[in-house]
């Protein structure tokens, strides 16, 4: 299941808010990616490895696309 929800005070907000305080700084957009099964906050070693297997192709595509468009 995929769930989107807003956050306040996350590292993404802080990164973007720097620009609001100083317009001379480059505007930076952040992403928070959460994945894995709803278990403990810290995954077991097996869950960690499975998360890597499940998300590796998506992260690689994200990075290659960012490089391709010059981000």
- What confidence tier does 33 reach under pLDDT thresholds 50, 70, 90? confident
Report the pLDDT averaged over residues 33-48.
79
Report the pLDDT averaged over residues 5-10.
66
Number of C-alpha atoms within 13 angstroms, CB side, residue 30?
13
Answer for the pair 70, 62: CB distance below 8 angstroms, yes or no: no
7-16 contacts, C-beta under 8 A, 24 or more apart: 7/32
């Amino acid at each position: 299941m995929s769930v989107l929800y807003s956050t306040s005070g996350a590292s993404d907000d802080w990164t973007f808010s720097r620009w609001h305080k100083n317009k001379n700084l480059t505007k930076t957009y952040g992403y928070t990616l959460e994945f894995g099964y709803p278990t403990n906050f810290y995954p077991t070693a097996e869950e960690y490895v499975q998360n890597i297997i499940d998300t590796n192709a998506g992260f690689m595509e994200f990075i290659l696309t960012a490089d391709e468009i010059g981000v």
